[in-house]
Structure 1
Amino acid sequence: MIQFPYGISDFHLIRTKGYLYLDRTVAIPDLETVGRQLVFLRPRRFGKSLLLSTLANYYDLYTADEFPTLFGDLAIGKNPTAECNQYLILRWDFSKVSAQGDLAAITGNLFRHLNECIKGFAQKYQAILKFPVTVYAEDALASFDSLANSVKNSGHTLYLLVDEYDNFANEILTSDPHDRVRYHDLLEGEGVLKTLFKVIKASASEGKISRVFITGVSPVVLSDMTSGYNVATSIYLDERFNALCGVTQDELTLLLQQILQVHQQDASKVVDILDVMRRFYNGYRFCEVLTLPLLYNPTLSFYCLRHYQQNGDMPRQMLDGNLAMDAGRIRYIANLPAGMAVIDQILDETHATPLRQLETRFGVEQLQRVQHDPAYMLSLLYFFGVLTIADVDGMGRLVLAIPNLVIRGLYVEQLKEQTLPRFEDQQTAQHLAENFYQTADLQPLVEFVENKYFAVFSNRDYRWSNELTVKTAFMTLLFNDLYYIMDSEAVIQRRYSDLLMIIRPNMRRFPLLKDIVLEFKYVSLADAKLTAKQVRNQSREALTALPVVQTAMQAALAQLQDYRQALEAKYRQPERLHCLAVVALGFERVLWQAL
């Protein structure tokens, strides 16, 4: 049985207790040559802490005797670098620093964390430190100076590892976009965080620190640290380190083959399982080189594989609760003045979301731009891991997109909260959707859209087709990754369906669920030569008989006929497949017909 290191980021524990470790040590020589002070950014739960733990064990003077056990069978174990086991290791983890309270409280929280790390360091290396380390309760920067001096005067140098360097600054920024005071106090002038990194820079220049490796989620803090710490090399878009964190499809394939063998299941199931995992967990790219393979989220992949190993089946809930807080990052953007227009743009798969370059300056001076400038919002969403680099267009601009269905679900949930703020309406919508999954009768949902959704959606700033508006409304109501693989603009025989709802393989055993394809068309009131009042006063039968509506309906039905043949051939359950043509007449009425 494979021991998945789910929630474990301790390299020593993983290697000594037989947990799975996906070897990334082949990158260590390149990390040494690219720079001595590095900044590496990746989304939450992508393996950054395990990477730091790997580096700590590789470079630590105290793990030299364990090198064969820890690294012997890994890439770096066969050809270690000259710096292997040459340093004393100091680690800080800013995710442990609370962002609650005023500047004094945050400074106190930071100093306590630094001092505790310094005390642990002094205890660990006391046998080789020739001079004592003094810990100053009220001034952790002085404590760090004392440690650095002790190390140098003892004939050694430090490797400093800083995890989640931007954590509490991000928390301040996203908890209240208008709270510039606390953020400013942390970083501007002689702010404590800026001063800390000035001390790190000075210690490195004096030979007390040999190497620094800093991880985080976003570059929010970097621009405001620049004058105090302008010596770091950013490697987070370097193609050499694209797969430094994350899981590849080849790795997943091998793991799935082992799991299926244990369960004595047919090896051919690997293809179907990988197809589901690809749609839900894959899609991440962290550089502009499009030929490199896309990456899977490691936390979600291990969550799924561990469940399959234990139960012989995929988990019902594809989103692990550990990533649910990413919804808060999307909510932060959605609540900005121009945020919902950006969310709408992201959800439109028929139009690319181009970006001249990723914005990397998110300091105090740019806080106002973050609230109004789509380029800043899109960049921040990329760093948060809820957008990824999907392409590079003909002008060299980055094309950003939602990486997978798990993240799409977070966007859809946020859109639903914005359009249906009342809990009672959300409950009604859920009930109607679940009824639709079983009956394919769209009429109750149509009436809900007319009465509740159109009043909101018709006033939104949709830049492109009104057809998109209608599709977005129904997708928001129907999105359900518990039952379905839900693709918007899914390719079927080189054509695109508007909304494809295919039952997940492990849910096909439930006979009430239907496979559903919806094709949307929009007819403006001007094209129908009717006013909103006239449309509201006519029956559905009369509206359906309008020539302009009939033309749109027949076009949708013709497209659905092509889709049906392809889907029946693929899934071989024609009795479960329902194809529905949906025509919106302005933002007043919705008409539909089953194929």
Structure 2
Amino acid sequence: MMKYPIGIQSFEKIRINDFVYVDKTALVYDLVNTSAVCFLSRPRRFGKSLLVSTLENYFLGKKELFRGLAIEKLEKNWYVHPVFKMDFNGVVYKEKGQLTETILFYIGEWEKIYGKTPVNAPIGKRFESLLKQAFEQTGRRAVVLIDEYDKPILDVLDTPLEDVNRDTLKAFYSTFKSADDFLQFVLLTGVTKFSQVSVFSGFNQPRDISMNPDFNTLCGITQEELEHHFAEPIAALAQKYKCSLQEMEKRLKLQYDGYHFSDRLTGIYNPFSLLNAFINNRIDDYWYKTGTPTYLQVLLQHNHEQLNELTGRYYAPEMFVDYKADVEKPLPMIYQSGYLTIKDYDPESGEFLLDFPNNEVRKGFLTMIASGYLKTKEMEVSNWISDAIKLLKQGETRAFRDSLTAFLSSISYDSHGSVKSEEAAEKHFQYTFYLILRLLGENNCRLLNEQTQAKGRVDCILEFKNYIYIFEFKLDGSASEALKQIEERQYARPYLTDSRTIIRIGVNFSSETMTVEEWEEMR
């Protein structure tokens, strides 16, 4: 029976208790032998804390824990270094002084090992004294490992305390420059990379390995690792879902794969979702259900760009790599949080295509955006989508019409904001239906949105196993006019030889009631 390390971030515990461990130690060896000060950005629950724990045990010289792993043959010395590990998780930094208290707690613990430091000295200087004392006492340079370095800033994003916490961290991290003679290796991990004018400006710039091709598989699970380590649980899932191994592998890939962290485009699976699927023997949205980070919700509340203008586009790296604390431009945070990822690279322009990594993230993120935009609960959106899909699968168009009308009528008028002009009403209508249609298209059907054909552009086509729906929408027009457009422009022509039932639907919406006004269909 395989043991899956769900929620276990201790390398030592995983190894001693024989949990499954995907061997990343060859990359760890390469990292520590080619770098001095490094920074790694990865989404939450992607294995950053386990990486920090692995490095901690390596630098503490615990050779026995690495028996049978790649690094056992690579490392010859196994020197024991003083290790200073900080984890900013577990504390909420929304009160003034909380960050300083946390740092002082760590300093107090280290002083028990390496001796007291001047109490009246700045925090950074006290830390520098500790590093020097550790070096003098052990004869080995110190190792500093800081997990979730950015949490104290993310907790107070867009509040007056943001600058206070940033300055505190900046002063503390500046130690790495003045204490360089006493340092062997430094790693900072986090979700975001703040721009160089903020947190990192007080010391020599760390080597950012977040998009380095040599280390793009340092966290997460590759296709090769999946097939090597997890053949047994994949077979169990295939048996449960009554499909072939190949079909199950394809399903897992669509649901959890799709992350890329460099121009090498090596596919990476979300380890948290994948391991949860194996231990539960069920495919579900595990990563997304752990919750949307508060800092991302804050950013999206300020965002005036529509989602359909952000996804599926090429960007220069500077557009999404560094977060510059601009709440009106959320792209870097959305990317670094794992809701968008690299999907392609154009070497000629040096630009990257960003889009959703997989079905789990796409569905969850769209549900979150829709509920926020429409001022309704995520569960209400999710439940309506689920019911709507069942109706469309069965060809129950009248019931779907009634359901859509009721859902739109239930949306609070607060969500319509300042929809007063004709142009604003049309834009609100278009974006509302963009979100709804995208969500419908994430549930075992094929969505063709704004599909260009020879004689025009179809508003929406939804393809199911037994039905093909061709929608044309009008705002303050008429349903018959919409249906007539489908016929005159022959939107159904590409499907005339298709065995599925084709249903043409013309819908008219009212800008006054913001719901379905007229509905006409033809089969």
How far apart, CA to CA, are the structure 1 residues paired with 2:238 and 2:400? Answer: 44
- Is 1:436 the counterpart of 2:391? The answer is yes
Residue number among 155, 162, 175 corresponding to 1:199 in the alignment: 175
In 2, distance between residues paired with 1:268 and 1:252? 18
Return closer, same or farther for 1:459/1:381 CA change in 2, 3 Å cut-off: farther
Hey, what's the Cα distance between the residues in 2 that align with 1:590 and 1:467? 17
Residues 404-463 of structure 1, C-alpha deviations (whole Å, 9 max, x = no match) = 111112222123313432569759946852762674313344355467649959866989
Taking the aligned partners of 2:310 and 2:353, their CA distance within structure 1 comes to: 11
Aligned ranges 1:276-295 → 2 under 5 Å:
276-290=251-265, 293-295=266-268
**Equivalent in the alignment of 2:67:** 72
* Residues 314-356 of structure 1, C-alpha deviations (whole Å, 9 max, x = no match): 24x3334663234x455333311414x2x23246xxxx32212
**In the aligned structure 2, how far is the partner of 1:253 from the partner of 1:460?**
51
Q: Determine the structure 1 residue equivalent to 2:52.
A: 52
Corresponding position of 2:22 = 22
Whole-angstrom CA distance in 2 between matches of 1:469 and 1:459: 14
Q: Match for 1:95 among 89, 93, 99?
A: 89
Using the TM superposition, name which of 263-272 and 42-51 deviates more.
263-272
Q: How does 1:400-549 map to 2 (within 5 A)?
A: 400-422=354-376, 429=384, 433=388, 436=391, 439-447=394-402, 449=404, 453=408, 470=433, 472-476=435-439, 478=440, 484-485=443-444, 488-489=447-448, 515=465, 519-522=469-472, 532=476, 535=478, 542-543=480-481, 547-549=484-486
2:331 counterpart residue number: 378
TM-score (norm 1): 0.73
SS of the aligned residue for 2:18 comes to: coil
User: Residues of 2 paired with 1:214 and 1:269: CA distance?
Assistant: 42
Query: Given the alignment of the two structures, is residue 115 of structure 1 paired with residue 107 of structure 2, yes or no?
Result: yes
What are the within-5 Å matches in structure 2 for residues 265-414 of structure 1? Answer: 265=239, 269-290=244-265, 293-308=266-281, 314-315=282-283, 317-320=284-287, 323-326=290-293, 328=294, 330-339=296-305, 341=306, 343-346=307-310, 352-359=312-319, 366-367=324-325, 370-373=326-329, 377-393=330-346, 395-414=349-368
Matching residue within 143, 147, 158 for 2:130: 147
The question of whether the paired residues in 2 share the 8 Å contact of 1:172 and 1:183 is answered with: yes
Q: 1 or 2, which has the higher helix percentage?
A: 1
- What is the CA-CA distance between 1:219 and the residue it aligns to? 0.8
What TM-score comes out, normalization by structure 2 length? 0.82
Question: 2: distance between equivalents of 1:499 and 1:223?
Answer: 47
CA contact (8 A) 1:389 1:399 kept: yes
CA contact (8 A) 1:42 1:383 kept: yes
Q: CA separation of 1:238/1:419 partners in 2, compared to 1, >3 Å: closer, same or farther?
A: closer
Which string of whole-angstrom CA distances, capped at 9 and with x for unpartnered residues, describes residues 112-141 of structure 1? 3x235525xx45xxxxxxx63459599654
Paired residue type of 1:115: I
Q: Percent identity?
A: 20
Letter in 2 for 1:300: S
Closer/same/farther in 2, CA of residues 560 and 335 from structure 1, 3 Å limit: farther
Is the CA contact (8 Å cut-off) linking 2:257 and 2:357 kept in structure 1? yes
Question: 491, 511, 520: which is aligned to 1:555?
Answer: 491
Deviation at 1:357, TM superposition (A): 2.0
Q: 1:419 to 1:268 in 2, by over 3 A?
A: closer
Alignment of 1:163 with 2:118, yes or no, is no
Q: Which amino acid aligns with 1:72?
A: R
Change (3 A) 1:20 1:469: same
Write the deviation string for residues 487-524 of structure 1: whole angstroms up to 9, x where unpaired.
5449xxxxx9966677xxxxxxxxxxxx5655444366
Partner of residue 128, structure 1: none
* CA deviation after TM superposition for structure 1 residue 182, in Å: 1.6
8 Å Cα contact 1:161-1:213 kept in structure 2: yes
Cα RMSD (Å) of the superposition?
3.9
CA contact (8 A) 1:283 1:295 kept: yes
Using the alignment, how far apart are the partners of 1:427 and 1:389 within structure 2? 27
Identify unmatched segments of 5+ residues in structure 1.
124-130, 309-313, 491-495, 503-514, 526-531, 566-576
In structure 1, give the amino acid aligned to 2:107.
N
Q: Distance in 2 between matches of 1:222 and 1:29?
A: 27
Q: Which residue of 2 aligns with 1:220?
A: 194
Distance 1:591 1:251, change over 3 A: farther
Distance 1:472 1:221, change over 3 A: closer
Q: Which amino acid aligns with 1:162?
A: I
Output the CA distance in 1 between the equivalents of 2:351 and 2:435. Answer: 26
Alignment check: 8 A CA contact 1:3 1:18 kept: yes
Q: In structure 1, what is the Cα distance between the partners aligned to 2:488 and 2:30?
A: 61
Asked if 2 retains the 8 angstrom alpha-carbon contact of 1:285 and 1:294, the reply is yes
Distance across 2 between alignment mates of 1:428 and 1:319 = 17
